[in-house]
Amino acid sequence: MECLKEKFVGGALLKGRYQTISPLNHGSFGMVFKAQDLVTNEPVAIKCLTKRSACPEGFSDFAVDEKSEEEALHSRLGSHDNIVNLIDSFETDSHIYLVLEFCGQGDLYEAIRKGHGPLETEHVRQFMLELIDSVHYMHSKGVYHRDIKPENIFLTQDGAMKLGDFGLATTEKWSYEMTVGSDRYMAPEQFDSAGAGYSPAEADVWAIGICLLNILFSRNPFTTPTESDPLFLDYSRDKQSLFDVFPAMSQDTYEVLVQCMNLDPRRRSLEGAREALLRVVTFTTDDEDDDEYCGAESPNVATANREPLRTPSIQSPAVDTGAFPWAKALHGTPHVGRQLSVIPDDESYTEELFPKSEATTADWCSANMQTPMSSVYDSHLGASMKSLAIKPTARFNRSSATAGSLPITMAKPMPAMSMVFGRRQEAVSKSWSDMWDEDEEEE
């Protein structure tokens, strides 16, 4: 594994131009670090990827091809204000280096976790419009992301957003690769398309809706978009069940979500979401009286004595989470009325789930803050997933309901977002919504 996890050396000069400063992240596929461009005197982020030919036998699955697919995707995309752009690239006999824009305020994930996400109505609107612009541009160039989530959305020092991490992106308009991405953000058809495949472009639109809910409420609506999750099952029968999960959600927000999170992929619309965003008066009912912020903050925010969990990207063809054929939901008989699945909710939470941040009322548009770029520019650090020889994994069984998917009320504060990169031994990635279950198991 020595060729996969490079030891960081500060002050090293690369290509006679880039001087290394500090590591940002590392994993099985390489390392990402901050460097100074001595020509422009600007900070950059450099991703170091190990070539397959440089790896010892048995570790080639954790390396990239001799020609980086991610570099090719960046070349295809060109430059855009709302995309983490490729500045330069170079290689040695054993490594490929991608020089990327450095985003000084880190990622959206950390911003939300620390209470510095977009808070006011106009800030949320502008942020989401920029995200839609980046996805629209990307799709116009024939590139489909497949892993849109807060960890892959970055914030510049002046508050603009940039979409990054193209390690799971594809140029194929129709894909048969199942469970590619991050489970909390995958569209239902990515889990089970009944063998018919799916449109990666339409899956990207679904993820935009989940990101909006993350910004407003710091949590996900479902654990996974499968019938094993009672809340998703309710949603598949009646989209308005989201009001049971997010009582403070406004009708305006709901109108945006239905444009993104339609069970029929063909009815999802970037343009429809854009138009709905422009019509928003308030994103939450709390804003109707006071537009100070969108995510309602309770004075009794709880913490736990450990870090919350990130949502790593995955590609696990054999993972079984109770597949939900989205076509079944489309053609199923609609249920009269609306009733949330019965889930016991009698636990009492007295300790804080997440440590309170030093500042929780300033948003990133006005606060000059240095957010750690803990997820950097690639949740799996640039591996070409098509090049991996994925071996069948053991069948994974998970409980049909998790406490993290329980309905919330304003009396029970919601946990913030998390920062741990993930756990290798788990077949399915986890999110902050799993924290309650794990706390109970540890007692």
Evaluate whether 231 touches 245 at the Cβ level (below 8 Å): yes
Max distance between CA atoms of the chain, in angstroms, equals 68
Outline where 4-143 has alpha helix (H).
69-77, 108-113, 121-140
Catalytic residue among 107, 133, 147, 286: 147
User: Treating both helix axes as pointing N-terminal to C-terminal, what angle do 200-217 and 251-260 enclose, rounded to 10 degrees?
Assistant: 160
- What lies within 8 Å, CB to CB, of 386 at 6+ separation is 69
DSSP 23: E
Q: Which residues pair with 105 in a beta bridge?
A: none
Q: Which residues pair with 50 in a beta bridge?
A: 95
Nearest to 315 by CA among 187, 183, 200, 153: 183
Alpha-carbon span 205 to 224, nearest angstrom: 16
Alpha-carbon span 231 to 215, nearest angstrom: 19
CA 396 to chain CA centroid, nearest Å: 22
Which is it for strands 13-14 and 30-37: parallel, antiparallel or unpaired?
Answer: unpaired
* Helix, coil or strand: residue 14: strand
65 is catalytic: no
Q: Which residues pair with 291 in a beta bridge?
A: none
Which is it for strands 42-50 and 30-37: parallel, antiparallel or unpaired?
Answer: antiparallel
Residues catalogued as catalytic: 147
